[in-house]
Amino acid sequence: MYEVIITSGKYKSMHQTGVSGVMQCWYFGNYPSLMSKAAGELSFREDLVPGDAAAEEAFLTDLAAVFWGRSRAKALSTEIRRLNDESQTFI
């Protein structure tokens, strides 16, 4: 999920500089997936500021709700954040 957070910064910068379109076909491909959904959502989110943990958590919760339902979303987004933080210790 670290890629989601990095991607959010890229989309925020694109919005600020007036970019009006994007062709999405990165390493995670153009096949419908969690990452493709995240990238698509981020292209329209103006409220997500990189480094704003609360906004990032809200985004992850919304994203998790799409795939696993609203009732499980908060617990899953918290776990995603924990695993991401843990994985960063290995980089």
For residue 77, give the nearest of 44, 34, 47 by alpha carbon: 34
**Is-contact 50 5, C-beta < 8 A?**
yes
What's the DSSP call for residue 30? S
The whole-chain average pLDDT of the chain stands at: 78
Q: How far apart are CA 65 and CA 76, in angstroms?
A: 9
Residue 47 pLDDT > 80: no
Read off the amino acid at residue 42.
L
Residue 41 pLDDT > 70: yes
* Mean pLDDT (whole number) for 30-59: 80
Q: How many CA atoms lie within 13 A of 68 on its CB side?
A: 14
Taking the whole predicted model, whether its pTM rises above 0.85 is answered as no
